[in-house]
Amino acid sequence: MSVRRIWASLSTFTLAAVAALGMAGTAVAADSAAESAAAGGYVALGDSYSSGVGAGDYLPDSGDCRRSANAYPQLWAAANSPTSFAFVACSGATTSSVASGQLGALDASTTLVSVTAGGNDVGFADVMQDCVLGSEATCISSVDAAIAKMNNSLPGSLDSLYAGIRAGAPSAQVVVLGYPRFYQLSGSCVAGLTEAERAAINNASDVLNGVLAKRAADAGFTFSGVVDEFTGHELCSGDAWLHSVTVPVYHSYHPTVAGQSGGYLPAFRSVL
């Protein structure tokens, strides 16, 4: 074999080895991050998107909070075995009810916190009811009113909640998760809301996520959006990870089992 061929073979081997080492290093880093996050207490705060409404298999002791065995906090804790795990997220929670009713789960040993909050502060359920039952004008007016709350009153409410979280868990990594866009525009739906209503609701989700991201950054927390994970799985996509109007009605517009495991869990895990 010529010197040139030997050198080419060695070069190919070296590149492959370096690539393998790089992939191994990435895997080790991911494992180390998970181990670090689990080496302490994990507390899951928030509203129905964290409690797992829509994903079924509700824990018997959770009552109307409807904490699901399929919710992303439960899935992450089962996979990573944190030193302690407090799952206190509750359906219907607002920033103020999280602050008054859930922060007692935090303490100095808490090393990881997740939270979704803000949707109920701006009247998410009322907006969807107006859009489903009312006219297009009623829907868009309701969406606009919610956006006004996002821009005016919600930032201060989030600041207060985030300050309470930091006071309760001084050393914890805090992850604020966002909300998905609900609709794939020009999708497969042939009935229901108009395209203008769907676009307005999607825009409201974007505005809400922007407010959450800004307040989280100012608090020194990590924001993780879920829009990318849910892209292709919105309502009208043909493969929705969100319930449309359904029975039981409280499942409506909440993530399915797949939305929790394929949407929220990867978004949470990606920033740890």
233 in catalytic set: no
Residue 141 CA neighbour count, 13 Å, CB half: 6
Name the active-site residue from 32, 48, 96, 244.
Answer: 48
Q: Which of 233, 243, 251, 254 is catalytic?
A: 254
Residues 183 and 205: their CA atoms lie apart, in Å, by: 10
Would you call 254 a catalytic residue per the annotation?
yes
Amino acid at 88: V
Q: How far is CA 135 from the centre of its chain?
A: 30
DSSP annotation of 249: G
**H or E element, residue 44:** strand 41-44
171-to-107, 129, 160, 216, 220 alpha-carbon distances in Å: 9, 40, 18, 16, 11
Which residue, 207, 206, 245, is CA-closest to 228? 206
Q: Which residues pair with 39 in a beta bridge?
A: none
Instruction: Answer for the pair 122, 150: CB distance below 8 angstroms, yes or no.
Output: yes
The residues assigned a catalytic role are 48, 254
